[in-house]
Structure 1
């Protein structure tokens, strides 16, 4: 029998809801370019991704943007690209949440904005300004 008022770590669906709420707060004109971005929540990045990114510890990677930045899409010829995707890795996110003491909403927003920044090819300073506007 489950304990009454038991507290459990957020599952993938709960993290996705927080990430979608963060995406919904992205201001114009950025928001118009995010309608086709796929959001994927996984427990950890796969071995190939970790190796390609240079990570040995799967807890080091909390999120990843895969796809072509907006500015590189025009005039692209050749093989059809995979959909632009923001990957969020649940277990590393939860670990960072516990370690840092920041709210889970703030952490998810930070990672989502960072990955959106990669979608637009933004600099770190631009990503911080975007994050401040999404807050």
Structure 2
């Protein structure tokens, strides 16, 4: 049995490094395009975001895409800020601990790909080609 008593979960910096590695590991056409999306890592979603989503429990939201999907953008759109993918460390860690059967980096990559799908307008089939999670 391993002694986990001196172990600590990755902090925000280490967690962001997992997310950046996941983005860099995407297949070439996707990894290059994904560089244009801002990546934010926080412990939990801000209260305003939870309220907008109609959520009370901050552990229910592991990630969120904020922006206008590329499939819906128009030259007439006024930018309100950069397209951003938010990853929430504590809910992802909670899911990882509950699952107990996947590496943390794989779960971070899965959440990232799911949020990128919102940005790029990917179908489930598109996601399955990129994210082997569903195999």
TM class, shorter-chain normalised? 0.7 to 0.9
Unaligned runs of 5+ residues in structure 2 are none
- 1: CA distance, partners of 2:54 / 2:75: 28
Instruction: Give the match for residue 90 of structure 1.
Output: 89
Corresponding pairs, count: 129
- The equivalent residue for 1:11 is 11
Q: For 1:29, what is the secondary structure of its paired residue?
A: helix
Residues in 2 aligned to 1:78 and 1:108: alpha-carbon distance in whole angstroms: 31
What's 1:123 paired with?
123
* TM-score, normalised relative to structure 1: 0.86
Evaluate the alpha carbon distance shift between residue 13 and residue 82 of structure 1 in structure 2; reply closer, same or farther with a 3 A threshold. Answer: same
Taking the aligned partners of 1:76 and 1:66, their CA distance within structure 2 comes to: 18
Q: What is the aligned partner in structure 1 of residue 109 from structure 2?
A: 109
- 7-16 vs 119-128, which moves further: 119-128
Partner of 1:42: 42
Shift of 1:55: 1.8
| Length-normalised TM-score, structure 2 | 0.86
Query: What's the secondary structure of 2:97's corresponding residue?
Result: helix
How far 1:78 sits from its partner (Å)? 4.5
For residues 125 and 54 of structure 2, what CA distance do their matches in structure 1 show? 24
Tell me how far apart the structure 2 counterparts of residues 86 and 78 of structure 1 sit (CA, whole Å): 19
- Superposition map of 1:37-76 within 5 A: 37-73=37-73, 75-76=74-75
Deviations 1:88-125 (A, max 9, x none): 11110111110011210111010011111111111233
From the superposition, tell whether residues 70 and 32 of structure 1 become closer, same or farther in structure 2 (CA, over 3 Å).
Answer: farther
